[in-house]
Structure 1
Amino acid sequence: MMNRFLPLLSLLLISHLSSPARLTPRGGDGGNRKLATGAVRGEGVLHRSKRGWMWNQFYLMEEYTANEYQYVGKLQSNMDRLDGTVRYVLTGEGAGTIFQIDEKTGDLHAIRKLDREEKANYKLQVTAVNTRTNRPLEPQTEFIIKIHDINDNEPKFAKATYTASVPEMTAVGTPVMQVTATDADDSSYGNSAKLVYSILQGQPYFSVEPDSGWIKIALPNMDREVREKYQVVIQAKDMAGQMGGLSGTTTVNITLTDVNDSPPRFSSSSYHLSILESTEVGSTVGRIKAKDGDAGENAEMEYSIIDGDGREFFSILTDSMTQEGIIMVKKKLDYERQRVYTVKVEVNNTKLDSRYSSFGPFRDTATVKITAQDVDEPPVFSVSPYVVEVREDTARGNTIGKVTAWDPDSPHHPVRYSIDHHTNRDKLFYIDPIDGSITTLQPLDRELSKWHNISVLATEINNPHQMSRVPVLIKVLDVNDNAPEFAMYYETFVCENVKAGQLIQTISATDTDEPLFGHKFVFSLSSNNPNFTILDNEDNTARILTRRSGFNRHEVSAYYLPVVISDNDFPVQSSTSTLTIRVCSCDGGGNLRSCSVEALLLSAGLSTGALVAILLCVILLLMIVVLFSALKRQRRKEPLIISKEDVRDNVVSYNDEGGGEEDTQAFDIGTLRHPEAVESNKQRRDIIPEILFPYHRPSPTPDCADARDFINCRLQENDSDPSAPPYDSLATYAYEGTGSAAESLSSLGSSLTEGDHDYEYLSSWGPQFKKLADMYIAKDKA
């Protein structure tokens, strides 16, 4: 048995007698040596030399399980005389770990169990070394050890579980999917890796090809509605499926996908529904549903009403979520007219496949009977809404229209009519509660309201809770009862130098009435006017022209021209409106040159109210400017006197009868306001320092002859002199001369007293007063 695994050796001819010896494998089949001879011509004698075998590989079985080491072979050099002088050294892959050589004999063993699936061959080198010199006897020789395969690996699938799908009703032999397994054994040696597939579970629905692993349909007309999921177990076995081979399995979950091969079917041929007759339009009556064994879009259905006396009153919709047919009210029901309605409903698939048309037809029908139930209904009006037309000159109490309602449950039951008071707050209309006649309570005016909308109520007498309402629209027709008038307020002007026949204004009119064929106004003057005339433009406008040339605004500043406007309706209505024409001065081109403010503004098209508003704005603006100026001046200079009470505390007096003005003390109110002011820095506020203003000697006035004139002159000089005391100081000149018979001559006393005084006696004292004035001037200069 071992002999078939030994290598075949090759025979080589050696051409040189002195060639080095070669290692010769021994073992396996006992050596099976063959001699190779070679001839060399030397010194005329032909010699032969003996050579060993050349080899290149050994063979071993994998998975060796014996207790002793597995013998590989014997390596021996022909230089070895078996005297112990040769030592064999092994190197290469697995040397010392997997393979071991006897250094003396050259026997090679595998010291470990080998697995071909891990490594199929090993490359090693052996060297024959002289034990004395420790030098190689010949060059290193390389050889290969190949591992023979045994069937020690079972087939394995890539997945433990596969998933596949195939449409239902698929023909026999249709491939579903392919599963393949792999075997780690050597496929080039024996049958260890030759696999055969078989099905262990899933028959008779599916089959598998032994060589390729293709799973195919094995049963015809497989119906998803009968069974949807299948589990198939596939086995792969090596050794070509023979006894003793190894095997592996995998599971394939196969799902039958749906095709539209099941038509929809109603569970019953007829359905019965009921509904109140008062149900609103659009309400749901009920639902019906057909069954379809398919799934997904193949099970989508559509419902329709194809026949029946209820087609006019009912409709059907399809609920896409539940695939139900929803029957709805299409038209108002009437129990008194019809109590039972019948509709024929059809259902069909929305998506069809011609390949499965033989399973059809894909539609079904059912009859649905709907019973209307009676309810107590409110009265019903014959029309909704009512539209009534009435002339605006209709007399009070006239009938303008009529409404009619009845009880639908019993036409013989009476109803009562009324008007909703919220729609008749002005109490313009009245309705007869028995016959529904509508009359007017007050005259109507189209110019105030063209339409009146009222709500009429109809109530069952036997059941007041049953009430209905209907709108009544009352249109007021126009009657020519209003006269035309100016479209706007006109005020214009005429130039003094105007020529005769010149246009000064174009006027138009308006009328609140609405004649059927539109307005047609006629313009005229109420009397023959020598100054102006009117020309009708025949388009509801007219032109005002001058009849003469030359006007004088100083003689007549304004003319008032009465204009008569008439309409063409019946009866004819007319009115007189007055046009105001101002006279103004103009240049040669007709442009205003001078005119009163009112005329100028009126010429610009402004009314009297607008003029008043403009003037008020101007006055208000002037007041704001004055106030602003006063405030600005107040901020610039602080007044000396803040209140009227300060006047008496800031009087400069010169009534000392002793040494004159040099003893005069003036009270400074500023000290009270600012007590922190330094006394040395205070200056007299009634006398301007000379360093600021040079002394101004008043020029003598020859007219100041008596005391009155003297005082007035001095007051005028102080008012106009910039060096005078401040405006809020009061100067007095009450100096009394020696031997005065008039006692005090204070200007304060004389000016504040309203009694009669005789000042003529002062004329004899002129020189004294002149002396007083000269003294005052001298003192003031000092």
Structure 2
Amino acid sequence: MTKRKGNRGWRWLALWWHHFSLFWSTIDAQSRYSIPEELKQGSVVGNLARDLGLGLSDIFDRKMRLASDAGEQYFSVDVGKGELIVKDRIDREALCGQSASCVLPLQIVVENPLQSHRIEVEITDINDNSPSFPTQEINLKIPESVLVGKRFPLESAEDSDVGSNSLKSYSLSKNDYFSLKFKQTKNGQAVPELMLEKPLDREKNALHGLLLSALDGGNPARSGTCKISITVLDNNDNFPVFSENEYKISLKENSTKGTFVIKLTATDADDGLNGEVTYLFGSRTPESVLSTFEINDESGEMLLKGPLDYEISKSYLIDITAKDKGTPEMEGHCRVQVDIEDINDNAPEILLTSKPSPVREDAPRGTVVALISARDSDSGDNGKVVLHLSKTFPFILKPSFSNNYELLTNDPLDREKISQFDIELKAFDSGNPRLSGSTIIAVSITDVNDNPPVFTQSFYNVYLKENGVPGSILYSVSASDLDSGENAKISYSILDSKVQDVSVSSYVYINSDNGSIYSMHSFDYEKLKVFQIQVQAKDQGAHSLSSNATVHVFILDQNDNTPAVIYPTSAALGSLSHQRMPRSAKAGHLVTKVTAVDADSGHNAWISYRLAEATDASLFTVNQYTGEVRTKRAVYEQDDSSQRLLIEIKDDGQPGQSATATVSILLEDGLHEPILDLRHKMSEPSKKTGRITLYLILSLASVSVLSLVTFLILAVKCIRGSRSSGSCCMRRSDCDDYKNPNRNLQIQLNTDGPIKYVEVLGGDMMSQSQSFRSCMSPMSEYSDFTLIKPSSTTDFKEVISVLDASLPDSTWTFESQQVNLLLHTGL
């Protein structure tokens, strides 16, 4: 667009300052500004920080930015000063055409928290466009016979400016034949016409040249000119005449090709060719009209040639010319105004003013997720848009202003259930038929540490063979966390506890990354049978969460102990047992009994006896299970007086362990059988026998009382436990969370072999039992009774002292060996 130089430039500058000084007065509640068009880049429109109540620090910290509905960005925000400035050249005519009001809606978006403000910038017109005619020259052919007062329509000038800067007047150069007149159209527009003031005489002047000027109302005024060339024709002196000078019709924008528009009729008073009329578009008809409409040159019917679009053009002004076939040709003119009626042919559009940011799953209700706007190119009800969610989501839409919405959280979020929402938004207009548009917004949910690690099991049972290699893996525990990232990274540790008064960390350690538990040393079943480990799994979240699991480690017995002979010989003392037997003994005579024990358990402790060597294998036999040595036959006179037996004692483990015992037997004549002698001695009353019997009675009474008290305690605990937990078999201890099994009371009576004992076991099955034994030896002439605790070494020493004081020397040799062996073997 060209501009005048010199004084006109100064005048324009003065006019600009005049408009700029007035734009503050047009601010409507700090949401509307007014500026003249063509402001240079960098010009200040207004102070957004002050008008929106924001500090300069908020402009930068909250990232204020501009989101415009217009296709081109004409403005920008100076974040340093909080001012709205002109970014690009603004041409009001290009933006709003001939519209009386030209307002650009702008949307200001600030974040943290997310907000939007709507402002409007009114673009006022300046006189930067001169009136212009469609053509620079108008050629008219006027017969000389035309009467004075005949009017000839001229093409109107156009001015892109509006208001006072628009077209105001026309002027015609001075001449003797023509004057300038105006005709008012139905829409109030003044169309210039050339009126003949004096009869034409072709012979005097066949060509007339005039200059038509158009002026606007600006200050300073602008003008445009058009040259009019008039050729005076002879003869054909009647013009075709339309029934009306202007026609106005309406068409729907969905009208199809070939739709009838209007039939135009013009009449000519002449005869012959001078009266025959043809119809055509005006010579200056724009291409947009020629591509949309067509006219039958003979009938004057106008038809639709191309598609209509209300959003592109709402109205068409079409000049129609009717020509006769005379010489010279005579023309008649009319104008057809075609108004386009809008139909609902544009679906609503959904625009994201601000893209959604990830939302924390603990975000409170009402958190702004995104800013959304909707628009429709149609007009009236066809352009009214309503936006809503297509399904049920934990979000809602809150209208803000002018088809703008905020997407807010409405319900609690849980990333572990849904980590991303694909929210479908639908927009509906109010037209008929109703049209809709949709879009999908992806909103991702970020994780917070709200789930603790969970073990695959609340407790684990691990079975470990004794004598394992230190550093070998015992078990691998595993836990999972529903959270993600650092919140789901798990580290494992062992909580400190005591095992046999020693920290559990000296027994095992755990790999903190994968939960693998390793042994620190080899385990001995005979010393430790079971222990438990408390494993903790903790995540790496900012506020870490944890959970615990219990690992029960059961040590499995291996056959690593050989049988220990406790009668008749002691491997610890290295002595040889000598037995006496009468020669009068018959077959089946009990010579002695070999007794052995094994520190192992189960099959590994099952002992069998076998006669490995003998002076005379036909004379003696050994019971495989009891170890009793008996005669297989009667003693012959020729049998040697000294017999030697080698007895093998073997356990049932794999591989088996074995030991041997040597028994030396002396055959004598006239020797009484030891069992009869034992019965005889037992029948003799003595003070020591009475004392031992008293001990036995008191011990059995104590055991009975202990059993009764134990049962009463168990009954009371069962009743209390059933009230609190519903079970009398299992109850959680107050000092730890280990579930104790049922307490048991066991009474074992052994009547086989040379050692007679009764054993009372009480306490936890998982702990060492308290044992009370009555030991009686057939080799002693006394019925001995002793209370012992196998778990206490001190008690064994006390037992030894009791035996030493109560038993004769001949008996103590055997009994002391037996007790010492029990002490060594841990029984």
TM, length-normalised to structure 2:
0.35
**Greater C-alpha radius of gyration:** 1
